[in-house]
Amino acid sequence: MMADMGQLIVLRHGETEWSAAGRHTGRTDIPLTAHGEAAAAALAPALARLQIAATFCSPARRAVRTAELAGLTDIKLDPDLWEWDYGGYEGRTTAEIRAQRPGWYLWRDGVIPGDAEHPGETIAQVGARTDAVLARARPLLADGDVALVAHAHVLRVLTARWLQLDPDGGRLFRLDTGTFSTLGTEHGYPVITSWNVPPA
């Protein structure tokens, strides 16, 4: 059981050209589109009402810019919040991958190795990274909410781990760009308190 505490504020970065096209964007550092910037800024009023004790952010500029436009301050870059390293599938759409690998499903089949900058990761490795993020964030929840600004797949895995599911439980939680979600507790047990909420 968990004692009463703040919530995890889960923010997926705003739209990029690659996210709009459905291209797997792991370690490639793509900027926000104008629409993505507007959506990130639209998150600011909701965040301003919260007591945020700490903010952890992926080092990717799409995440950092989202955090800044959403009005978050004292942003701590956390390499464990980088997106899943898609290896040889970096920049490719699911349809393109399935043309060569029929029936491919990321959550079950994983990725293939890529180049030196995109070696690829297993889902277990992503889960270990999110466990490390949660271990750092949990003690801070005694002082208020903790914001986590990152990417779809890594945040979905993190949510599964918060709920004490295996990392592949992240497949259950669709997460759109520029959205706001919250993870908290009920009667001392971890729950989702809101999910995939678009800007007001």
Which domains are present in the chain? 8-123+138-197 (3.40.50.1240)
Answer yes or no: 13 catalytic: yes
196 by DSSP, 3-state: which? strand
pLDDT at residue number 199:
84
Q: Is 83 annotated in the active site?
A: yes
pLDDT tens for each residue of 139-187: 999 999 999 999 999 999 999 999 999 999 999 999 999 999 999 999 9
Q: Is 112 helix (H, G, I), strand (E, B) or coil?
A: coil
The confidence band for 200, taking pLDDT boundaries of 50, 70 and 90, is confident
Closest alpha carbon to 61 in 88, 83, 86: 83
Pairing of the two strands 52-57 and 8-12: unpaired
Q: What is the pLDDT of residue 59?
A: 98
Mean pLDDT of 5-26: 97
pLDDT in tens, 49-105: 999 999 999 999 999 999 999 999 999 999 999 999 999 999 999 999 999 999 999
Residue 153 tokens read as 């797949």
**Structure token pair of residue 187:** 């009667």
Active-site residue identified among 83, 90, 151, 153 = 83
Between CA 93 and CA 167 the distance in angstroms is 22
